[in-house]
Structure 1
Amino acid sequence: MPILRGDEELEKVLKGSRTVAVLGASTDPRKPSFFVSLVVRTYGFRMFFVNPDHAGEEILGERVYASLRDVPVDIDIVDVFRRPSAARDVAEEIRAKGCRTVWFQPGTEDMRVARELADEGFNVVVGRCMKVECRKLL
């Protein structure tokens, strides 16, 4: 599967998804993972937050999980807010969970890992902000 680039492809993914896990979620309202999640949630997505440093705390009234594996439901989109150097670890966690779409926020992508995930059949988005795309396409 190719890396998704067109608006029609992104719109189809967004409209066909209900659950979003935010990897690298922050409790700090000034951080992109926080305010992007705040906006994305307004489009009807059920949000799950993953950050081992904040496990057991809450973000936007939802429990924070230590790992993606700990999230108790199937996830449609994994929204990645981790450094590119963590992409390989992120990919392993995503493979273990079996999510459909991996959304690397701008500046988080490792293109080698993104291509590997796409070749394995995952929908992969790079270089586009989920908040911006929700506002534009939904």
Structure 2
Amino acid sequence: MGIQNPTDEKIKEVLHTSKRIAVVGLSGNPDRTSYMVSEAMQNAGYTIIPVNPTVNEVLGEKAVASLKEIDGEVDIVNVFRRSEFLPEVARDTVEIGAKTFWAQLGVANQEAYDYLKDNGVETIMDRCIKVEHAKFK
């Protein structure tokens, strides 16, 4: 069937109704895209939860090693990992009950997409959350 992203209207709705973003693969290096995008989303009012087993804290937020370690609800799982890791992250996303799975620009995986859609998770792939957010301010 192929990967089909939601309409712009649905993406706008997701961004306007979401508050907590778990960022899988968030780097503590300010020169990395994951850091810059997450900082912009934090500055826009979102709560950022760094998910990276190699860091303790990013952007003033305590990091967790995996999605399963997050307390409370997660609105968006934003993924900065290579495409081959998406099926594993997709399974964890479903397990924690996150509403939306968002794979960053250049990142997509059909297996993960099918699994997420079969489990009722809004799925966006190969799009930058910062760029999309800027379109709908």
Which TM-score applies when normalising by structure 1? 0.92
Q: Structure 2 unaligned segments of length 5 or more: list them.
A: none
Bigger mean CA deviation after superposition, 65-74 or 114-123: 114-123
After TM superposition, list the pairs within 5 Å mapping 1:24-63 onto structure 2: 24-54=25-55, 57-63=56-62
Q: Take 2:115 and 2:4, find their aligned partners in 1: how far apart are those partners?
A: 10
Aligned CA-pair RMSD: 1.3
Shift >4 Å, 4+ stretches: none
Q: Take 1:126 and 1:60, find their aligned partners in 2: how far apart are those partners?
A: 24
Q: Is the 8 A contact 1:50 1:65 kept in 2?
A: yes
1:73-112: CA deviation from partner (whole Å, max 9, x where unpaired) = 2100000001111111111211211100000101222123
The total of aligned residue pairs comes to 135
Q: Take 2:105 and 2:128, find their aligned partners in 1: how far apart are those partners?
A: 6
The one-letter code sitting in structure 1 at the alignment partner of 2:89 is V
Q: Is the 8 A contact 1:20 1:75 kept in 2?
A: yes
2:54 match: secondary structure: helix
Which TM-score applies when normalising by structure 2? 0.93
Q: Take 2:97 and 2:50, find their aligned partners in 1: how far apart are those partners?
A: 17
Bigger mean CA deviation after superposition, 69-78 or 2-11: 2-11
Match of 1:81 in 2: 80
Select the structure with the greater relative contact order (CA < 8 A; seq sep ≥ 6).
Answer: 1
Match of 2:89 in 1: 90
After TM superposition, list the pairs within 5 Å mapping 1:110-129 onto structure 2: 110-129=109-128
Q: Is the 8 A contact 2:39 2:59 kept in 1?
A: yes
Bigger mean CA deviation after superposition, 109-118 or 17-26: 109-118
Deviation of 1:3 after TM superposition, in Å, equals 4.2
Match of 1:5 in 2: 6
Q: Structure 1 unaligned segments of length 5 or more: list them.
A: none
Provide the identity percentage.
Answer: 35
Deviation of 1:7 after TM superposition, in Å, equals 1.3
Q: Take 1:113 and 1:23, find their aligned partners in 2: how far apart are those partners?
A: 15
